[in-house]
Amino acid sequence: MRQGKLQVIKKTYWRHLVKPEILFLVGAVMANLPYLLWRCGYPVPPYSFSISYKPLYLWILGYIAFCLGTGFVGYPRRKTRKPQSFTPFCIHHANFRFFISITIFAAIIQLILICLLYGTLPIGGFFYGYDIETLNMTQEASGFGQLGLLTLTLFVLNALILIGIVSNIKEKGRNRIILWIAVIVVIFGSLFQGKTQGFFIFICFLLTGGALTGVNPINLFMHKFGFPKFSKRQMIVVVISLFFFLILLHGFTRFLRVGRYEEFSVKSSFDTTVAYLSTPLINMENQLAISGLPGSQFEISGLLIRLLPSKMESHFTESVKTSVPRLERTSPSGFLSTPHWYLGLWGMLIFMFIIGAVCKYFYIRSNKSLFCLLAYSQIAWTLIAAHTYNHFLILLFIPAPIIAFFILTRLVRVKHISSKLMQEN
């Protein structure tokens, strides 16, 4: 009896680590971390603002509303007190290989066309003085949304890689080669512009999707790609190394984009990370200084600006009376900024309740539905990166990929199988 309980705890441990309440708490803590750093003597960025701690109060209220939403959906499940085990998925092998091959080919073609659009490979051009402003202007002027289409294609490729990892797809021969090619294409496609968010989304997507199966996601990945599993001590070293690698990568690409890669150092990477966390908080301080904690308007149409295709945004923006104020215009203002500015405090709290309920629904259903597993894996980064972004209100990052995942799971022909049959296959 005791051994059975330990097995249940072991199977649910990794799922608990990626619960929406935990992931959003991580994002909320990082959003307010600069306050602690400033109090400990870290230099305050030279912007004209006063530290009021109002964003901290707003984050506390927003997190409570989010948890009420997750609790509203999760309460019926808790009453049963029965652990929900992961159900393996049976994927039609031929369909899987066809769709992942087509997606890889489409991504490579798009990468070539975009490099032709830029006139160079951006991450290589930065070493020779390619201007980041030129890259940004080219992105805005791209006639047919090539960059958005590439991003969506890479998200679909993320999903296909994860399907190959968590399903009954055999990890040998052609399947392993195809998965390796897909991983290389995603990594290159995420970093070739000298930006790291796509790569972070990819890492978070795989780790979350693996954890939702109830096993160590890193060892699951290692097994599928033919590497030996890590011991517990090795796993601690790997996790710490990955954390510092991501910080260094973020810092290096930041210096590379502005043509100052010679100045890159370990310290500069941490300074860049702190600045990355600080500017959204500064913007939020400025916003609350203007609107006050209760908010000053209700204009629900403002939430729809980034939910439209990029070519339609400018026309729709003209009909919105006011835009979110920012001291640092190149930085977003965090997860709560847009709903608070356009809906006020009470509207924002209702919004957070709904988001919490949606996240919890996908999380609970992820052990039975491949679509929900993919959808929640995509949402996970938005919760962790809540200190800077609200991807729920950006068409390209949450709505469009989730629609694509819904179609994809129908095309690969998913059905449930028993664990015994899974082992036989």
List, as one string, the DSSP characters of 363-397: HHHTTT-HHHHHHHHHHHHHHHGGGT--GGG-TTT
Share of the chain above pLDDT 70, in %: 79
Return the sign of the alpha-carbon dihedral for residues 372, 377, 381, 383: positive
Q: What is the rounded distance in angstroms from the CA atom of residue 356 to the CA atom of residue 335? A: 13
Residue 267 counted as domain residue: no
Q: How confident is the model at residue 7, as a pLDDT?
A: 40
Q: What is the rounded distance in angstroms from the CA atom of residue 283 to the CA atom of residue 306? A: 19
Residue 402 counted as domain residue: no
Q: What is the rounded distance in angstroms from the CA atom of residue 369 to the CA atom of residue 362? A: 9
Residues 293, 326, single domain; the answer is: yes
**Beta-carbon contacts of residue 2 (< 8 Å; ≥ 6 apart):** none
Specify whether the CB–CB gap between 188 and 141 falls below 8 A: no
Residues 115, 202, single domain; the answer is: yes
- Which alpha helices (DSSP H) does 264-331 contain, by range? 266-291, 310-317
Residues 94, 66, single domain; the answer is: no
Residues 24, 155, single domain; the answer is: no
Residue 182 counted as domain residue: yes
The range of the structural domain enclosing residue 57 comes to 10-86+277-392
CB neighbours of residue 263 within 10 Å: 9
Residue 398 counted as domain residue: no
Q: How confident is the model at residue 76, as a pLDDT?
A: 58
Q: How confident is the model at residue 88, as a pLDDT?
A: 65
Domain total for the chain?
2
Specify whether the CB–CB gap between 163 and 91 falls below 8 A: yes
Specify whether the CB–CB gap between 62 and 349 falls below 8 A: yes
Q: What is the rounded distance in angstroms from the CA atom of residue 259 to the CA atom of residue 193? A: 13
Count how many Cα atoms sit within 13 Å of the Cα of residue 300 in the half-sphere of its side chain: 4
Q: Output the DSSP codes for 302-338.
A: GGGGGGS-HHHHHHHHTTSS-----SSTTS---TTHH
Residue 213 counted as domain residue: yes
Residues 14, 45, single domain; the answer is: yes
Residues 105, 156, single domain; the answer is: yes
Residues 198, 100, single domain; the answer is: yes
Taking each helix axis from N to C end, the angle separating 337-365 and 54-80, rounded to the nearest 10 degrees, works out to 20
Q: How confident is the model at residue 350, as a pLDDT?
A: 96
Q: What is the rounded distance in angstroms from the CA atom of residue 150 to the CA atom of residue 159? A: 14
Query: Coil, helix or strand for 144?
Result: coil
- Extract the residue ranges of the chain whose pLDDT is less than 50: 1-10, 143-144, 418-425
Residue 336 counted as domain residue: yes
Specify whether the CB–CB gap between 215 and 14 falls below 8 A: yes
Residues 23, 59, single domain; the answer is: yes
- Which alpha helices (DSSP H) does 40-92 contain, by range? 54-80
Residues 210, 157, single domain; the answer is: yes
Residues 59, 102, single domain; the answer is: no
Residues 62, 138, single domain; the answer is: no
Residues 113, 199, single domain; the answer is: yes
Q: Which of 406, 385, 404, 388 is nearest to 396 (CA)?
A: 404
In angstroms, the Cα distances linking 62 to 137, 351, 354, 355, 377 are 35, 9, 11, 11, 22
